[in-house]
Amino acid sequence: MLWAIIILPSVLLPQEFNVSADRTTVGENERFQIFFAFEGGDFNKLRNFRAPDFQGFRVLSGPNQSTSMQIINGSVSSSITYGYIVQSTARGSFTLGSASVEFEGKTYTTKPLAINVIKGSGVGAGQPNETGGISNEEIGKNLFIIATADDRDVYQGEQVTVTYKLYNRLNISSPQISKLPVYSGFWAEELETAQNLSFNIEMYNGERFRSAILKKVALFPAKSGELTISPFELDIPVIIKRKSNNRRNIFDDFFDDPFFGRSETVQFKAKSNSIKVNVRALPMEGKPEDFSGAVGNFDISAKVDKESVNANDPVTLKITISGTGNIKLLPNPEIDLPVGFEKYDPKTTENISNRGLISGSKNFEMLIVPRLSGIREIPAFTFSYFNPSKQKYIQLKAGPFMLDVKKVEGMAEYTQPGMTKEEVKLLSQDIRYIKTSTLELDKIDKKSGPGALFWSGIIIPALFLGIFLFYQKRQEKIKGNAVLLRYSKAEKKAKSLLKLAKASVGSDEKGKFYSILSEAFSGYFRDKLNIALSEFSVGKVCEELKKSGLNAETITNVRAVFEKCEFARFSPDSSDLSIENSVLESAERCIVETERMVKIRRVKK
């Protein structure tokens, strides 16, 4: 009895085979779509689908298949749709015959469908493209990308989420990126999406499409005014199946069967719409003095790791800022310590979630050294941000913290403000008593001059001092110039990340290899070519490399690596070891060629 209950759901699933059209009244020579949908059971068991005669109509494309499947409590519920794009050829009332399909030995048929063709304006009767079957305009009606923003009127620094979605009613192959969007004036953060394209049935403008999310990105406007997000472009191979319209003999009927239908691939460029965002400047009224640009909704917490400490021993102040907003751009907290404390630059760590609204926390660990004994106070400090939903500034406060600083016997303390521990130690050494004892002095021979040892003792230290000063001056110049610092460290940073990418080849974690490789590759060219993150794009990189004199072959390889990394999550072969190794080698060659080009330019200068 139990066995019967378990298998009962899969037995009772109903099967239906229906026909529908996007419209049943069409104009003469107008194109429209017809769908044959089988629902229920496992569509893998379907056999021998046969379309009707389509008498009175011209088949431009089809059958284009779309499927969906669900498994609930062991029961398989699925559907498969065969879609056709057809064109009316004459006015009148026509009846589309029944289509048929076999499922588990039983034949299912659709009901006849009445189509009324009236006098029209000839929409869709324009010249077909070079495929001879369907025009680019008609493909564009059935295959396109829509870019949407969750908000187009925001404050500077407020998150805007942009979603790129592909809508399709045709039979397509693997798309390839043609041009990535440019987020000029924005700080961009990629949002987490599915590793592979997952299509769902969706209605758009009253018509049914298969839709899939291509890309989601969180944008934070860095300036006010009207900002434009450029389109996202894909090159998509469209597979078009044809049906012969001029039958010459009885064998033509056989080859008109969809199984034997002739097909060809047409390259179609799908281009999304551009998006304009109105960015409002942050208000001046009520702006706190300590405001440093944080926008969102945040909270702050702080604590010290100990409240009792010996003088000259370190204390760690841990500060955590959490909430929603651009966590990565949160500045270091500013703390004004009184005399008797020393502080060091904080160590920062981030914990960020990018599944929707950018949220998470940023942790700061600041090392503070108390130099004076007694009850000492680390003063309170503030953090201010602008809350877009409340349209006002909010100031948060943490502290103060009291420390019991104990004096250590035998250890000198400050004797005056501003002196460091090392200066206190030197105080007992820099004043010497005058010696009153008899000194033994040797008489110098006036005739003999300074020897080689004397001159080498002067020249060699002077030479080393000159080299040291030159090196120090160069390092200070690099450190004072953020662009030059990034430029000089670009190759070293990229090599470090490439080692991590190499170690993750074949990783079970999907997309890990391409994520690390993309970070290394894009970071290298941003730093080497001095491209701002908000203006970074593949096209921009290739344009700058071309200006720098890099050969065309290497520029092509650079573009190929970027596109492979970007589209790896859409491709079923993204975990192929040979492909990952090949992309890694190509990335290394591109960096080596770029470095070689840089050295040649230096020599020429």
Bridge partners of 295, per DSSP, are 386
Q: Please return the burial class of 378, using the count of CB atoms within 10 Å of its CB with bins 0-12, 13-18 and 19+.
A: buried
Say if residue 236 is in the same domain as residue 321.
no
Q: How far is CA 479 from each of CA 154, 483, 484, 533, rounded to the nearest angstrom?
A: 36, 9, 8, 20
Mean pLDDT on 516-521: 80
**pLDDT value of position 7:** 36
At position 294, the amino acid (one-letter code) is: A
CA dihedral 469, 475, 480, 486 (to 10 degrees): 170
Question: What pLDDT is stored for residue 149 in this prediction?
Answer: 93
Q: What is the pLDDT of residues 207-264, one digit of tens each?
A: 888 899 988 999 999 899 999 998 998 888 888 765 544 444 433 444 444 444 566 7
> Does 433 score more than 60 pLDDT?
no
Mean pLDDT highest for which of 33-47, 146-160, 346-360?
146-160
Q: Which of 177-186, 188-197, 360-369 is predicted most confidently?
A: 360-369
Q: How far is CA 488 from the centre of its chain?
A: 25
Q: What number is the average pLDDT over the span 490-504? A: 76
Confidence at residue 280, expressed as pLDDT on a 0 to 100 scale: 93
pLDDT at 241: 65
- Mean pLDDT confidence for 464-482: 70
d(CA 398, CA 404): 19
99 shares a domain with 15: yes
The residue out of 386, 406, 426 marking a domain boundary is 406
CA distance 590 to 597: 11
Per-residue pLDDT band at 303 (split at 50, 70, 90): very high
Whole-number Å distance between alpha carbons of 39 and 364: 57
Q: Please, how many CA atoms are within 13 Å of residue 402, restricted to the half-sphere of its CB?
A: 3
Place of tokens 């001046």: 284
DSSP codes of every residue in 53-108: --TTEEEEEEEEEEEEEEEETTEEEEEEEEEEEEEE-S-EEEEE---EEEETTEEE
Q: What is the pLDDT of residue 238?
A: 87
The answer to whether position 529 is within a domain reads yes
Which of 201-205, 377-381, 486-490, 512-516: highest mean pLDDT? Answer: 377-381
pLDDT band for position 441 (cuts 50, 70, 90): low
Closest-CA residue to 342 (of 399, 428, 424, 409): 424
Q: Which helix (H) or strand (E) holds 515?
A: helix 512-529
Residue 9: the pLDDT is 40
pLDDT at 197 over 70: yes
Give the Cα-Cα-Cα angle 286, 289, 295 (nearest 5 degrees): 70
Q: What is the CATH number of the domain that holds 14?
A: 2.60.40.740
Burial of 594 (0-12, 13-18, 19+ CB in 10 A): buried
* 93 and 205 belong to one structural domain: no
**How many other β-carbons are positioned within 10 Å of the β-carbon of residue 112?**
11
DSSP sequence for 402-464 = EEEEEPPTT----SSTT--HHHHHHTTTS--PPP-SPP--PPP-SSS---HHHHHHHHHHHHH
Q: Which residues form the domain of 573?
A: 479-604
Q: What is the spatial distance between Cα 381 and Cα 334, in angstroms, rounded to a whole number?
A: 7
Of the three residues 87, 105, 126, the one that is the final residue of a domain is 126
61 forms beta bridges with 85
Beta strand residue intervals within 341-400, DSSP E: 341-343, 347-353, 359-370, 374-378, 381-387, 392-398
Contacts of 87 (CB under 8 A, 6+ apart): 29, 30, 31, 32, 57, 58, 60, 124, 125
Looking up residue 205, the CATH number of its domain turns out to be 2.60.40
Looking at the fold, whether 77 and 26 belong to one and the same domain comes out as: yes
How many whole angstroms separate alpha carbon 368 and alpha carbon 271? 55
- ∠ CA(237), CA(242), CA(248), 5° rounding? 155
Pair of tokens at residue 428:
């007992």
Per-residue pLDDT, averaged over 38-48, amounts to: 75
Q: 214 and 304 share a domain? A: no
CA atoms within 13 A on the CB side of 259: 6
pLDDT tens track for 57-73 = 888 777 777 776 655 55
HSE-up (13 A, CA, CB side) for residue 508: 0
Nearest to 103 by CA among 43, 176, 164, 20: 43
Domain end call among 227, 251, 280: 280
Provide the pLDDT for residue 255.
42
Percentage of the chain lying above the pLDDT 90 cut: 18
- Considering the domain architecture, whether residues 267 and 184 belong to the same structural domain is answered as yes
The structure tokens listed for 281 are 């400047």
DSSP state of 549: T
Q: What's the CA angle centered on 582, arms 578 and 586, to 5 degrees?
A: 175
Structure tokens at 531: 């491209």
- Give the mean model confidence (pLDDT) for residues 281-306: 91
Strand 225-229 versus strand 200-204 pairing type: unpaired
Rounded distance between C-alpha atoms, residue 469 and residue 463, angstroms: 10
| Contact partners, residue 514, CB within 8 Å, separation at least 6 | 564, 565, 568, 569, 574, 580, 583
- Is residue 407 pLDDT above 50, yes or no? yes
Of 150-159, 438-447, 539-548, the one with minimum mean pLDDT is 438-447
Q: What pLDDT, on a 0 to 100 scale, did the predictor assign at position 158?
A: 93
Q: What is the pLDDT of residue 568?
A: 67
Per the structure, how many domains does the chain have? 4
Alpha-carbon gap, residue 380 to 336, rounded angstroms? 9
d(CA 266, CA 264): 7
Q: Are residues 266 and 357 located together in one domain of the fold? A: no
Average pLDDT over residues 351-370: 90
Q: Tell me whether residue 465 is in a domain.
A: no
Residue 453 within a domain: no
Whether 32 and 90 share a structural domain = yes
Residues 144-166 have a mean pLDDT of: 93
Q: Assess whether 261 and 180 both reside in one domain.
A: yes
- 200 in a domain, yes or no? yes
Can you give the pLDDT at residue 157? 92
Does residue 532 carry a pLDDT above 80? no
pLDDT at residue 47 is higher than 70: yes
Q: DSSP letter string over 185-238?
A: TEEEEEPP--SS---EEEEETTEEEEEEEEEEEEEEESS-EEEEEPPPEEEEEE
Question: What's residue 3's pLDDT?
Answer: 37
- 286 in a domain, yes or no? no
Judged against a pLDDT cut of 80, whether residue 75 lies above it is answered with no
Of the candidates 190, 182, 168, 162, the residue with the CA atom closest to the CA atom of residue 233: 182
At residue 558 the predicted structure's pLDDT band, cuts being 50, 70 and 90, is confident
Residue 574 has pLDDT above 70, yes or no: no
Tell me the C-alpha distance between 522 and 571, whole Å. 20
Nearest to 101 by CA among 43, 175, 185, 27: 43
| 512 has pLDDT over 90 | no
- Is the pTM value of this prediction over 0.75? no
Structure tokens at 605: 């200068």
**532 domain residue, yes or no:** yes
Range scoring the smallest mean pLDDT among 18-22, 399-403, 573-577: 573-577
Is residue 108 located within the same domain as residue 147? no
Does 347 reside within a domain?
A: yes
Give yes or no for residue 424 having a pLDDT over 50: no
pLDDT value at residue 508 = 62
Between 535 and 288, the more confident residue is: 288
C-alpha torsion sign, points 416, 419, 424, 429: negative
Average pLDDT over all residues of the chain: 77
Looking up residue 590, the CATH number of its domain turns out to be 1.20.120
Q: Are 488 and 583 members of one domain? A: yes
Highest mean pLDDT among 32-46, 66-80, 362-376, 490-504: 362-376
Six-digit token string for 407: 């004096």
Number of H helices, E strands in the chain: 10, 32
Provide the 10 A C-beta neighbour count for residue 437. 5
How confident is residue 6, by pLDDT bands cut at 50, 70 and 90? very low
317 lies in the same domain as 395: yes
Nearest one of 342, 260, 330, 334 to 297, comparing CA atoms: 330
Return phi, psi of residue 322, to 5°. Answer: -130, 160
Assess if residue 426 is contained within a domain.
no
